Structure 1
Amino acid sequence: MLATSQLTSGLAVGALRSVHHIAFNVKDMQVSRHFYGMFLGLRELTGDAVPTTLKALVAEGKVANFVTPDGTVIDLFWEPELLPPHLDPCQQFTRANHLAFDVAPDGFDQVVDILQKSQVTIDHGPVTRPTGRGIYFYDPDGFLIEIRCDPADC
């Protein structure tokens, strides 16, 4: 894994505008939908509110999307073969899929350039979808991070 001391330069403070979404792997979609929707009281995205790229997966019951009061989206990805959480607390990311940050459209290409020139491991991207552009890379502990911008913006 990459040591933070290996990073020579990075994004400017304030380049990341907000957390765009958080994606979790879940073993039982119905139980998780009940927990996030009924227990936590989060609004589930339905119909036209579902991102275009996820409509088919939502229709198949493989993804569900919820919105927090501050507008952060929580995506649940159904992984029926998901193993129980690891007893070792150092294995804490067994349920998370990735964390996504939003950037200003005019800064996206600069982010890509910085990431490609750094020593971070890029998983894939940049990609362009109807929901925007994104690039996926790993933090020093191997957790997947996405930096993205909206299609109308970039």
Structure 2
Amino acid sequence: MAVQQSQTTQGLNIGTLKRVHHIALNVKNMTASRHFYGNILGLHELIGKEVPSTLKDLVAQGKVANFITPDGLILDLFSEPNLSPPNVDPKQQFTRANHLAFHIDADLFDQAVEVLKNNQVMIDHGPVSRPTGRGIYFYDPDGFMVEIRCDP
């Protein structure tokens, strides 16, 4: 259903929003997800003074973990141990989000594919080659699709 705006409503000017600050994912098993995003995908987990003051208590309780990408995007993981997807088959997508994609240098792409395989990460499909580059699609421990992609 399309939302109609009145003709007097003005949106933000293009360029007002600067970048995506963070993405938050609910995870069933915080230990498995921290291992996946930190050890397998190599994202830096915020610890100690790096943790935002508003999240320090939740991090200390093991309810939240924060990771940062080299370009500054924050990935927040929220522990929801009782939350399960409607379908245990991750190929049956259960959210409006399709996937989270990480860019990698082309000369490191094959290494990333080997890391996924060596860690028995469930691969959906790929590697695939397209005019826009190469990509591989796989699932995190909660069945959320993740992509690693590189330019051609």
Indicate the TM-score class for this superposition, using the shorter chain for normalisation.
0.5 to 0.7
Letter of the aligned partner of 2:35 in structure 1?
A: H
Instruction: For residue 4 of structure 1, report the CA deviation from its aligned partner.
Output: 5.5
- Specify the alignment match of 2:96 in structure 1: 92
SS at the partner of 2:26?
Answer: strand
**Aligned residue in 1 for 2:3:** 3
Q: Given the superposition, is the C-alpha separation of residues 90 and 40 from structure 1 closer, same or farther in structure 2, using an over 3 Å criterion?
A: closer
Q: 1:69: Cα distance to partner?
A: 1.4
* Partner amino acid, structure 2, of 1:92: R
Share of identical aligned residues, percent? 56
Whole-angstrom CA distance in 2 between matches of 1:2 and 1:69: 37
> Which runs of structure 2 are paired with 1:77-116 in the superposition (5 Å)?
77-86=78-87, 89=93, 91-93=95-97
Partner SS for 1:12: coil
Counterparts of 1:64 and 1:28, CA distance in 2 = 12
TM-score (ref. length: structure 1): 0.54
TM-score where L is the length of structure 2:
0.55
The SS at the match of 2:38 is helix
CA distance in structure 2 between the partners assigned to 1:90 and 1:34 by the alignment: 23
Measured in 1, the distance between the counterparts of 2:45 and 2:83 equals: 23
Task: Provide the residue aligned with 1:19 in structure 2.
Answer: 20
The structure whose residues are more often strand, as a share, is 1
Query: 5+ unaligned residues in a row in structure 1: which ranges?
Result: 97-154
Spell out the pairing of 1:22-41 with structure 2 (5 A cutoff).
Answer: 22-41=23-42
Which runs of 5 or more structure 2 residues have no equivalent in the other structure? Answer: 101-152
User: Residues 91 and 43 (structure 1 numbering): CA distance in 2 closer, same or farther, change over 3 Å?
Assistant: closer
Aligned residues: 96
Residues 1:43 and 2:71 aligned together: no
Deviations 1:83-109 (A, max 9, x none): 12547547435xx9xxxxxxxxxxxxx
